[in-house]
Amino acid sequence: DIQMTQSPSSLSASVGDRVTITCRASQGIRNDLSWYQQKAGKAPKRLIYAASSLQSGVPSRFSGSGFGTEFTLTISSLQPEDFATYYCLQHNSYPWTFGQGTKVEIK
Amino acid sequence: QVQLVQSGAEVKKPGSSVKISCKASGGTFNTAGISWVRQAPGQGLEWMGRIIPIVGITKYAQNFQGRLTITADKSTTTAYMELSSLEPDDTAVYSCAKGVALDPWGQGTLVTVSS
């Protein structure tokens, strides 16, 4: 199975900060990676697909990059509505696997 | 727009099984694939398995091999997830989600396993 190691597990940041979250795959997954945002009590929402493509309707402050084994999600200027938990998901090979999640909290 | 509607909350005894339904309406079902994801209280997302109804192919996470069965009824555009030999650690919200995008999601079904 492909392991997805996501870091950090949590972070505290202020509105306006630049935030970067990383996912590392245990083996190459090309760009078969998505990023999701989950708010408390809600279903996850996809932000990024194919590692770097912005989902329609998602603000442009979100961006993704990476290929192979190293991936990042960047929020260029954190907004109050961005405080949530973020997950990466690889769908390159079965079983699909999520990262452990990164909780973004208000500083 | 596709909508996924799941069956209601369940309370189960250890050792029993649970079967949850996920009905799709308003879009493709047979070719898109339906995944099941669970989230234990305060924990992260765990991908359990997937079915592609048009070909009946299923894939499962190793953690659930032998006790997870995912099926689909093309005539009613409904997917099912059955988990057997339940333990208290299986207490979680179980959700279905469509396609590679995992979008949309069902509303989630809380399964509580307790004696």
**Residues of chain B contacting residue A47, judged by C-beta atoms under 8 Å apart:** none
What's the confidence (pLDDT) of residue A5?
98
Residue in A46, A87, A94 closest to B45 by CB: A87
What's the confidence (pLDDT) of residue B32?
85
Could you read off the pLDDT of A11-26 as tens digits, one per residue?
999 999 999 999 999 9
Is there a contact between B105 and A96 if contact means CB atoms under 8 Å apart?
no
- Residue B96: closest CA among chain A residues belongs to which residue? A43
Checking if the pLDDT of B24 tops 90, the result is: yes
Checking if the pLDDT of B27 tops 80, the result is: no
- Residue keyed to tokens 């109804």: B53
Residue B26: pLDDT band (50, 70, 90) is confident
Average pLDDT over residues B60-80: 94
Instruction: Determine contact: B52 vs chain A, CB below 8 A.
Output: no
Instruction: Determine contact: B99 vs chain A, CB below 8 A.
Output: no
State the nearest Cα–Cα gap between B93 and chain A, in angstroms: 10
**Residues of chain B contacting residue A38, judged by C-beta atoms under 8 Å apart:** 45
Is there a contact between B46 and A98 if contact means CB atoms under 8 Å apart?
yes
- Max distance between CA atoms of chain A, in angstroms, equals 38
Is the alpha carbon torsion for B111, B112, B113, B115 positive or negative?
negative
CA angle B72, B46, B9 (to 5 degrees): 60
Residue in B61, B62, B100 closest to A91 by CB: B100
Q: Are B24 and B98 in contact (CB under 8 A)?
A: yes
Among B53, B84, B57, B91, residue whose Cα is nearest residue B68: B84
Could you read off the pLDDT of A43-75 as tens digits, one per residue?
999 999 999 999 999 999 999 999 999 999 999
Among A3, A5, A1, A2, residue whose Cα is nearest residue A102: A5
Could you read off the pLDDT of A82-100 as tens digits, one per residue?
999 999 999 999 999 999 9
